[in-house]
Structure 1
């Protein structure tokens, strides 16, 4: 019961398919196929035709189902975009906190429905702007946040109980979140009403992005502290955004992105359970973050497979009872690595295609890259085009009118199955290696991604994969004229503000707060030693981001990437 076709229908299909195949081969003798091998961007082979034969073992109820119902292949909500569109969350962060606050208000005024914050490299690495290690980087790839006063300027005149805020921060995530909570409460907002996400995914840093600070074990401890604190104190907050995006940007295939990201999620759930948390008390607040690359159908299949895999893992591996624990809710960003400096206006078409894949894949929120992001953080002109791309798809194209419209497509369903099958093979391998931390220590995911990136680059150089304007139809069109640049005076001003902030602090109160933070870090992982309450007190007393990170580094040690090849 529930199978797609009867045995008689399948027999007839097999007969007719053989007849079609004979005709196809005959036609190819007159006009050969364009390519020697058709494959996705990730190099999964694509057959010329998909039929019910590719789904003959598929059970609709067990494998596809209905939106908002297990295994959630068709979406995590029963209404999807018929009731509410995805959150339009454009990445924004540039220069000073005031500069980024202006960009936030600009985007909100033009219809953005959620904030997403990019931080500069010193902030990402846990250094204040006045550190010698931060020179020349202030505000270049995001906003500089050193103090709670910077956080206040960043979100000035924004209702933090009405807007949800995403913050792309990893090793210092607990500190930046503490600043956000403390500032919100200083402004009169209730922490229990704050909604948003901190990326806070330490494992993908070791695998791909490499903004590294602490070794894996203490990194996991701090992530689990945030999960525990959020479960108790900030119930609307997503305390980890388990990110495949950066894994894909590092050169992985879609299957590797799917498998390694889901296994990172498995690891975080295991850590929460070890802390004594009930899986159904915290798993519903885990979220995911996918890269929507240029291969349209592969990305849709990846997202549909991811939902089904996570639902089954939460039900069968962790015995979750609450349906919310089984939901893979995710944010999507179009692929930065697919953008080209050559003919940058082509990036608008790439982004539109990738955004459409994210929508048809059932994303809950979406960032569309700007055409100039291959050069620098986006200009206002480019970011408005990127936002309008989402709005046109939402309001004009009709793609939000029906839920999971590609369900039942022989190709999409077969590709969804293929993605799940190959990703599960990776998950079994990671189990055999002893888990993700053990695999990272053996360089397993890193080398798999490195090999995939090298293979793809070889295909580009041989012309097997086409990038328009790069290895096919190249031209000499000039670069963009409106590239945003950050003036050096931004760094001088930020250093001055940070140093003035440090001078006016109550040194006794600050030392008391930092002593308590140290005590908690040095103690065994448990609620009584959770760092979040102490961090909130410390940043409120005037601790800077680097001062908190330096304490982490002293207590837990530091980590450098081994750089294996």
Structure 2
């Protein structure tokens, strides 16, 4: 009777544990490696890190691996195993599904639908005019109002967006960068109108302008005044909104632009270093603002590499803050992050396959210790999510949290020879990039020199070439294709949204105190010219119903616009 493969593995493992057959194993590995090389069967992670057929204790001992120095317990320096001691045993990660389209009232209805379905945090997408500091009636806004997110022109829209949602009780994330300060102030004004105290207002503004120059493109002003807006928000929130996360330093969009996991990690941390340096240069104490810094990472398909990336990120950030900036507060050393599954991995072909991709990606984020998570809907390669697809995406998280056993212990993959070796490899490769960027003068200089952009473009080209050649398998695209996909119900955006928003803007401008608006916009301009904190006069102008476009135009008149 032929012996089963599992029985052969059991016998081989037993021999190795007993100290027998090690030479045979090493010789076999060598022969297999040579054969694999001849057959072109070398295995690499998506970042190009070689993957061995099997990992053993010596893969760590050869590096001088030390538990206390490289891992430590969960919740303890260097936080490789997580920033909290029990991680998800106390409560699972925040399930923060991304939503935003059309008018504020339409998005408000989607927020309530997701909350009723069990979502535990809000995450807001804004349309392109809002991101670029243009009102909905601006000529450049034609065709874009409400399309990729919600349109917000004034305080009235923000009131509608959170109508019936108690902002003293809910945490809200806002994916906004160039106009982050404006949206935060509108949010805080609505919260105050609801009676929320400043210390009750919690959430995150993305506010990561460097990655806009690097990977995404929704910038308004040149880098220097943009960095000033960021540090002004750090100072404002330290004084006025102590529980608000002032920035979510984003690797997500860097990865979506085509970077590898290593590049995502390295470029994100380099940008974070630049923000901390700018804040310190502006006179802020590092332990005053660093505890409110947060991060935003991508969850892609290579499950173990993604887990290694998150674990390396925590260890690297703890070292950066302690050794480079002299931070002493534990909260300054702890890297907290939100994760979103990879939009760029979604396929229009056989779209329901995306449910499986998203599940694998979400699992990597959970095993890697994320603090909050968004799972993409399976139809997002075709349109904005329907209620059905958004519910399936949320249920994916809920099943992982409730049925998968992944919340029972902190960092369940710790001690895996493969995971620990891969974490070391990812970290070493990321440090190499950071050293190169430091040699160029830091992130801002490296972006201006297009160093990071060039690295991302090369990685994206290599990835696409692998897909087109079939070397990288994408199920349903270049392997296991089908002739036709079933028709699906897709979400559509009302084309009359711009007309509705334009009419509302007309009513706002006719009903408000125009003299008060002009007076406060003039004060904002003066602050921009004099170097004062911009958020205080900005808030006064917004409270008088100045529009987002008017605030942005006031700053444009002083700072100018960035042209690559």
Asked if these proteins are the same fold (TM beyond 0.5), I'd say yes
Q: Is the 8 A contact 1:130 1:499 kept in 2?
A: no
The alignment status of 1:219 with 2:226, answered yes or no, reads yes
User: Counterpart in 2 of 1:250?
Assistant: 257
Q: Tell me how far 1:479 sits from its aligned partner.
A: 5.4
User: Counterpart in 1 of 2:9?
Assistant: none
1:60-459 alignment runs, 5 A limit: 60-459=67-466
User: Counterpart in 1 of 2:545?
Assistant: 542
Q: Is the 8 A contact 2:206 2:249 kept in 1?
A: yes
The alignment status of 1:519 with 2:526, answered yes or no, reads yes
SS in 1 for 2:298: strand
User: Counterpart in 1 of 2:28?
Assistant: 23
The alignment status of 1:487 with 2:491, answered yes or no, reads no
Could you list the per-position Cα deviations for residues 520-565 of structure 1 after superposition, in whole angstroms to 9, with x for gaps in the alignment?
11112xxxx111111111111111111111111111011123xxxx
Distance 1:243 1:13, change over 3 A: farther
User: Counterpart in 2 of 1:53?
Assistant: 58
TM-score (norm 1): 0.94
User: Counterpart in 2 of 1:478?
Assistant: 485
Q: Is the 8 A contact 1:181 1:536 kept in 2?
A: no
User: Counterpart in 1 of 2:43?
Assistant: 38
Distance 1:28 1:517, change over 3 A: closer
Distance 1:12 1:458, change over 3 A: same
Q: For the residues of structure 1 that align with 2:229 and 2:124, how far apart are their CA atoms?
A: 21
Q: Is the 8 A contact 1:348 1:386 kept in 2?
A: yes
Distance 1:28 1:41, change over 3 A: closer
Runs of 4+ that moved beyond 3 A: 11-18, 24-35
SS in 1 for 2:306: helix
Q: Is the 8 A contact 1:250 1:449 kept in 2?
A: yes
Q: For the residues of structure 1 that align with 2:487 and 2:47, how far apart are their CA atoms?
A: 30
Q: How many residues align?
A: 547
TM-score (norm 2): 0.94
Q: Tell me how far 1:35 sits from its aligned partner.
A: 5.5
Q: For the residues of structure 1 that align with 2:548 and 2:349, how far apart are their CA atoms?
A: 38
Q: Tell me how far 1:25 sits from its aligned partner.
A: 5.4
How well do the aligned residues superpose, as a CA RMSD in angstroms? 1.8
Could you list the per-position Cα deviations for residues 308-367 of structure 1 after superposition, in whole angstroms to 9, with x for gaps in the alignment?
000001010011111110000000000001100000000000000000000000000000
Distance 1:15 1:128, change over 3 A: farther
Q: For the residues of structure 2 that align with 1:480 and 1:20, how far apart are their CA atoms?
A: 52
Q: For the residues of structure 1 that align with 2:228 and 2:32, how far apart are their CA atoms?
A: 62
Q: Tell me how far 1:17 sits from its aligned partner.
A: 4.8
Q: Is the 8 A contact 2:166 2:194 kept in 1?
A: no
Q: For the residues of structure 1 that align with 2:313 and 2:38, how far apart are their CA atoms?
A: 32
Q: Tell me how far 1:31 sits from its aligned partner.
A: 9.7
SS in 1 for 2:399: helix
Q: For the residues of structure 2 that align with 1:394 and 1:329, how far apart are their CA atoms?
A: 19
Q: For the residues of structure 2 that align with 1:31 and 1:131, how far apart are their CA atoms?
A: 60
Q: Is the 8 A contact 2:36 2:42 kept in 1?
A: no
Ranges in structure 1 where 5+ consecutive residues have no aligned partner:
1-10
Q: Tell me how far 1:475 sits from its aligned partner.
A: 1.0
Which range moves more in the overlay, 271-280 or 253-262?
A: 271-280
Q: Is the 8 A contact 2:86 2:409 kept in 1?
A: no
Q: Is the 8 A contact 1:341 1:479 kept in 2?
A: no
Q: Is the 8 A contact 1:393 1:399 kept in 2?
A: yes
Q: For the residues of structure 2 that align with 1:419 and 1:29, how far apart are their CA atoms?
A: 25
Q: For the residues of structure 1 that align with 2:197 and 2:522, how far apart are their CA atoms?
A: 27
Distance 1:428 1:16, change over 3 A: farther
Q: For the residues of structure 1 that align with 2:266 and 2:20, how far apart are their CA atoms?
A: 37
SS in 2 for 1:347: helix
Ranges in structure 2 where 5+ consecutive residues have no aligned partner:
1-15
User: Counterpart in 1 of 2:6?
Assistant: none
Q: Is the 8 A contact 2:167 2:194 kept in 1?
A: no
SS in 1 for 2:296: strand
Q: Is the 8 A contact 1:344 1:480 kept in 2?
A: no
Q: For the residues of structure 2 that align with 1:499 and 1:451, how far apart are their CA atoms?
A: 47
